[in-house]
Amino acid sequence: MFFILALLLSFANNTIKAQDASRLRISLLTCTPGDELYSIFGHSAIRIIDSTSLTDYTFNFGTFDFDDEGFYIKFMRGKLLYFVSIERTDDFIQSYMAMNRGVTEQVLDLSATEKIALQHKLLENAKEENKFYKYDFFLDNCTTRLRDFITHNIHPTPALPAVMPANTSYRDAIHQYLDKGHQPWSELGIDILLGCRTDKIMTAAEQEFLPDNLMSAIDSCRNKKLVQKKSVIYQQLMNNDSATPTSPAVLFTALFIFVTLITLINNRFSSILVNIFDNIFFFAVGWLGLLLILMWVATDHSMTKDNFNLLWALPTHLLLPFLKKSSTSFAHKYFSFSFYWTAATLLFWFFLPQQLNIALLPIDLIIFIRTGDRLAKIKKANKAL
């Protein structure tokens, strides 16, 4: 009889603990990656069920106003403000189901005091005067914000472990998602825009900028149990469309072979063709170099600075279409500098402190061949004078 009574008391105590005085249930929602670039890294949100007020809301820190005046300029300069929005959880989940993006819920094992504190902080942050923040994809995003809200309101502070190999950089991490999502052109564009800071080896905390990593870290918390229950709210349906676009490396290699051939043929038609190509190609490379400088010095994006892609994307290439009007001496000096500079870049390509996209190697080889050819022709013309 005493044994049965003890079991009943234990069950009652556990029930009271499960239904604590806060009458709150707080969960981390993790959404699987989508097909578009903006969604390919997944998403995180916090769900709060309040049994007292009979509400079920989700706090989403990944909201921005597409109609914001100067949206594109602010986005490019890293000055676009994101904000936290509150929406009914049913609406949130339905929107991800419509996009065929899975949703996993981790009910957090928190005390009543911790739940109340977390709810209070989230509601305070959602006020009009507090809800805006300057988004940084790597350092301050919709997932790191949730991580901080959770860890700063739990005692002792959760010790979240690293969930990726010890030598993983930011660039390695995003490459995994882009490769899995068959986005070679997006990967190329990102590799061009992001500088050497992206090749920094991440700490355990820095790995949590990705939603999947935060979910895994919370599952594996070292100093306490953080997850009371984990379940899949919506299972993503498998997509059989496995078509992969032509990779930049293949296309640029084909372009390199074509340019090499028309350079070697060296007849009247090929001369006209390479002159047209040079004007378009070098002008485009020069504009790209100018963009990289602007992304370095004129934006708030932390990872677009210190960009070694400027070694091959020289902004001075913008001058090439006008070199015919310049003195032979200036043209000789410019192509001489560009040729030897490009040779040095090729020589040290794999030893730079920044991982350059391998698809850009044929582009740099084209610069090497075309500047070398132009330099040889100038020297030949000078000898004929």
Q: And the tokens for 44?
A: 């995180």
- Closest residue by Cα to residue 303 from 144, 174, 167: 174
Count the neighbouring beta carbons within 10 Å of the beta carbon of residue 207: 22
Q: Are residues 332 and 373 in the same domain?
A: yes
Distance CA 226, CA 229 (A): 9
* Range with the poorest average pLDDT among 69-83, 119-133, 242-256, 368-382: 69-83
In-domain check, residue 12 = no
Q: Are 26 and 150 in a shared domain?
A: yes
100 shares a domain with 219 = yes
Beta bridge partners of residue 103, listed in sequence order? 31, 234
User: The domain containing residue 95 runs over which residues?
Assistant: 21-164+202-234
Q: Exposed, middle or buried: residue 264 (CB in 10 Å: 0-12, 13-18, 19+)? A: exposed
Taking CA atoms, 184 is separated from 62, 177, 198, 233, 251, in Å, by 25, 11, 18, 31, 12
Q: Is the residue at 368 inside a domain?
A: yes
Sequence-separated (6 or more) residues with CB below 8 Å from residue 292 = 192, 193, 304, 307, 309, 310, 313
Q: Do 221 and 315 have their domain in common?
A: no
Give residue-wise pLDDT tens across range 113-165. Answer: 999 999 999 999 999 999 999 999 999 999 999 999 999 989 899 999 999 99
Lowest mean pLDDT among 94-103, 188-197, 327-336: 327-336
Give how far Cα 224 sits from Cα of 109, 110, 161, 228, 259, Å: 9, 11, 12, 11, 61
Put the strands of the sheet holding 24-31 in their side by side order.
132-134, 81-88, 55-63, 43-50, 24-31, 103-108, 227-234
Q: Is 64 left (phi over 0), alpha (psi -120 to 50) or beta?
A: beta
Regarding whether 223 and 83 lie in a shared domain, the answer is yes
Overall domain count for the chain: 2
230 and 295 fall within a common domain: no
Q: In the predicted model, is pLDDT for residue 339 greater than 70? A: yes
pLDDT of residue 245: 81
**Are residues 263 and 371 in contact, defined by beta-carbon separation less than 8 angstroms?**
no
Nearest-5° Cα angle at 54, 50 to 59: 50
Q: Is the domain of 229 the same as that of 260? A: no
Segment holding 49, helix H or strand E: strand 43-50
**4: how many CB neighbours lie within 10 A of its CB?**
8
Kindly state whether residues 146 and 210 are assigned to the same domain: yes
**How confident is the model over 177-221, as pLDDT tens digits?**
999 999 999 999 999 999 999 999 999 999 999 999 999 999 999
Give me the percent of the chain exceeding a pLDDT of 70.
92
Band of pLDDT at residue 19, cut at 50, 70 and 90? low
> What pLDDT is recorded for position 246?
87
Q: Are residues 281 and 223 in the same domain?
A: no
What value does the mean pLDDT of the chain take? 89
Please check whether residues 212 and 270 belong to one and the same domain. no
The pLDDT value recorded for residue 240 is 63
Look at residue 29 in the predicted model and tell me its pLDDT: 98
- Let me know if residue 193 belongs to a domain: no
Q: Rounded to 5 degrees, what are φ and ψ at 101?
A: -115, 125
Within-domain flag for 73: yes
- Say which range, 72-86, 101-115, 172-186, has the weakest mean pLDDT: 72-86
